[in-house]
Amino acid sequence: MSKLAFAPLLIFAGLAVTGCATQQYVDQHVATVQDQVTALQGQAQDTSAKVQQLDQTTQQALMRAEAAGKLAEGKFVYSMVMSDDSAHFPVSSSQLSSDEIARLDDFANKLKSDNRNVYLEIQGYTDSTGSAQQNLQLGQERAEAVRRYLAKDGVALNRMSTISYGQDDPVAPNTTRADRAENRRVVVVVLQ
Q: Where along the chain do its domains lie?
A: 1-73, 74-191
Q: Are strands 186-191 and 160-166 parallel, antiparallel or unpaired?
A: unpaired
Architecture of domain 74-191: 2-Layer Sandwich (3.30)
* Residue-by-residue pLDDT tens, the chain, 192 positions: 555 666 666 666 655 555 555 667 667 767 777 788 788 888 878 887 777 776 777 777 776 666 666 555 556 666 777 655 544 566 777 888 888 888 889 888 888 887 667 888 999 999 898 899 999 999 999 999 999 999 998 888 888 999 999 998 888 888 988 888 888 889 988 887
Residue 114 contacts by C-beta under 8 Å, 6 or more apart in sequence?
none
pTM of the model: 0.57
Q: Of the candidates 140, 63, 153, which has an alpha carbon nearest to the alpha carbon of residue 108?
A: 153
